[in-house]
Structure 1
Amino acid sequence: MLADEFGREVTGVRVSLTDRCNFDCIYCHNEGLGDTRGPMAPSDDEMGTDDVVRFLEVAAEFDVDAVKFTGGEPMLREDLEEIVARAPDSMEVSVTTNGTFLPDRAEALVDAGLERVNVSQDALDPEAFAAVTKSGAYDRVIEGVEAALDAGLDPVKLNMVVFEHTAGYVPEMVDHVAENEGLQLQLIEYMPELTGKPEWNVEIERVHDWLAERADRIEHREMHDRRRYHVGEGMVEIVDPVENPTFCANCHRVRVTHQGYLKGCLNRNDDLRSMGEMTRPEIREAFREVVANRVPYYGEYLVRDGDGDGEWELNEKYVEEYAGV
């Protein structure tokens, strides 16, 4: 298993299969790449089926034991079932999706080997949902969640980005998972540095405080310093990486863009590493290099100025030494 110089072993990979999406969510940062989404037709620069599988096989050589397929919308890939089926047996396979294609494909994906699914759902009201996603597919998403549960993908984890436009919907979403067995809720802290809309930010600690009063039981996960709130039948977890050195210090994931670039950190694009023609030797070399050069985003790439109580600022020493800037 490969580890970076901070001792963080890479145990998982997050593979973007496409930047295409049938939604246009107003908070989307496209895996940290920005709004690069193009036409809905497949593009020539997307990794092919064999390329994706070959990468996963090499990652498995380094004891990576989990892969999450993302996008864009990964289910726009017609070969998703094949990719899932051909993923190494040693890897847990999951998908993050907007859910609109699950009614027709959940069962086939489970048959192929899919083990977990995250469905993006930012509201329970169709009009509110449409305002955030720029999509009228609310009913289809609800059907998709039910299809995933029927196919045995429980618990289905609902992803909700918490920012100005959605914060008011948090209580009903929490009630929703509390009342429906098989659902969990993941509240994801809004990342203004990736979306360019800092005015949409909300204080995530207020959500923590509200949930602490509402929860029947609170569980603390040392990894990423996360808290899980058990409410009724459901569980709510807050993903709060912004200005969280503990979160970054416990990151064990490498990302892959749809174009076949390795990405050591969600927040950065100055560390992209091409895997060339996607031959096994090229993939191995690129993977080793990206892992070796990973640094915690908060705490190393960004550091506190002055005596440590100031604002986060770019670590010029790191940039000069490693990034060649």
Structure 2
Amino acid sequence: MLVDGFGREVSGVRVSLTDRCNFDCVYCHNEGLGDTRGPMDPQDGEMSTDDVVRFLEVAAEFDVRKVKFTGGEPMLRDDLEEIIRRTPDSMETSLTTNGTFLPGRAEGLVEAGLDRVNVSQDALDPKAFREVTKSGAYDDVIEGVLAAVDAGLTPVKLNMVVFEATAGYVPEMVEHVAENDGLQLQLIEYMPELAGRPEWAVDIERVHGWLEEQADRVEFRDMHDRRRYWIDGGMVEVVDPVGNEDFCANCHRVRVTHEGYLKGCLNRNDDLRTMGEMTRGEIREAFREVVHNRVPYYGEYMVRDGDGDWVVNEEYIGA
């Protein structure tokens, strides 16, 4: 297993299969690339099935144990089942999706070897959902979540980005997962450094405080300094990376863009490394280089100045 200069093993990869999406969520940062979504038809720049599988086979050589397929909306790829089926058996496979295509495909994904699924769902009210996603596909998402549960992809994690427009919906989402077996809730801190609109950010510690008041039990996870709250039988986890040095110090993932570039950090695009024409030798070289150059974003690439504000560490400018 490859280890970077800060002692972090790379045990997982996130692979973006496309930047296309049938939603237009107001907070989208497209795996840190910015809002680059193009036409809905497949584009020449997307990695082919063979490209994706070849990369995963090389990653498995370095004892990478987990892969999460993302996008855009990864289920716009007609070859998703084939990619999952051809993923090395040593890897746990998971998927982040908006859920609209899960009805009719969830069982096939399980048969192909999918282990887990995260479904983006920011509200339980169709009108509120439409305001955030710019989509009227609320019923399709609900049906998709049920299809994933029925197919055995439990627990299905619902991803909810917490910002000004959604913070008020947290209590009903917490109640929703408590009342429905097979569901868990993942509250994701809004990241203005990627999505812009800093005025939309909310104090995530207030969310933690409310959850702690409601919780029957709180579980602390060393990884990423995460907290899990068990409320009336439901599980709620908070992903709070903004300014969280522990989160970055425990990051064990490398990312791949839909066009086949490796990147060592979600928040950076100055470290992209092409895998060339995707030969195994080129992938190995690029993978080693990206891991070698990985830097914890908060606490190293970004450091606090004398006023306590986050500023770029000049050591890594142009590196």
Which band: TM-score by shorter chain?
over 0.9
In the alignment, residue 74 of structure 2 is paired with which amino acid? P
8 A contact 1:185–1:235 mirrored in 2 = yes
In the alignment, residue 244 of structure 1 is paired with which amino acid? N
C-alpha separation between the residues in 2 aligned to 1:302 and 1:257?
Answer: 23
8 A contact 1:181–1:233 mirrored in 2 = no
In the alignment, residue 165 of structure 1 is paired with which amino acid? A
Question: Please, what TM-score do these two structures have when normalized by structure 2?
Answer: 0.99
Cα offset, 1:196, TM superposition? 1.1
8 A contact 1:180–1:233 mirrored in 2 = no
Which of 301, 308, 311 is equivalent to 2:309? 311
SS in 2 for 1:247: helix
Give the 4+ runs in structure 1 shifted more than 3 A. Answer: none
What is the percent sequence identity of the aligned residues?
Answer: 82
Find the counterpart in structure 2 of residue 270 from structure 1: 270
5+ residue gaps, structure 1: none
Q: CA RMSD in A?
A: 0.7
C-alpha separation between the residues in 1 aligned to 2:181 and 2:228?
Answer: 16
C-alpha separation between the residues in 2 aligned to 1:150 and 1:244?
Answer: 36
Find the counterpart in structure 2 of residue 234 from structure 1: 234
Cα offset, 1:11, TM superposition? 0.2
Cα offset, 1:181, TM superposition? 1.1
Q: How is 1:54-203 mapped onto 2 (pairs within 5 angstroms)?
A: 54-203=54-203
Cα offset, 1:190, TM superposition? 0.2
C-alpha separation between the residues in 1 aligned to 2:231 and 2:47?
Answer: 41
In the alignment, residue 39 of structure 2 is paired with which amino acid? P
In the alignment, residue 318 of structure 1 is paired with which amino acid? Y
5+ residue gaps, structure 2: none
In the alignment, residue 312 of structure 1 is paired with which amino acid? W
In the alignment, residue 16 of structure 1 is paired with which amino acid? S
Find the counterpart in structure 2 of residue 292 from structure 1: 292
Q: How is 1:12-23 mapped onto 2 (pairs within 5 angstroms)?
A: 12-23=12-23
Question: Please, what TM-score do these two structures have when normalized by structure 1?
Answer: 0.97
Cα offset, 1:232, TM superposition? 1.7
SS in 1 for 2:228: strand
Cα deviation digits, residues 113-140 of structure 1 (max 9, x gap) = 0000000000000000000000000000
| 1:38 has 2:38 as partner | yes
C-alpha separation between the residues in 1 aligned to 2:305 and 2:132?
Answer: 36
Cα offset, 1:319, TM superposition? 2.1
Cα deviation digits, residues 170-195 of structure 1 (max 9, x gap) = 00000000111110000000000111
Cα offset, 1:311, TM superposition? 0.8
C-alpha separation between the residues in 2 aligned to 1:232 and 1:144?
Answer: 24
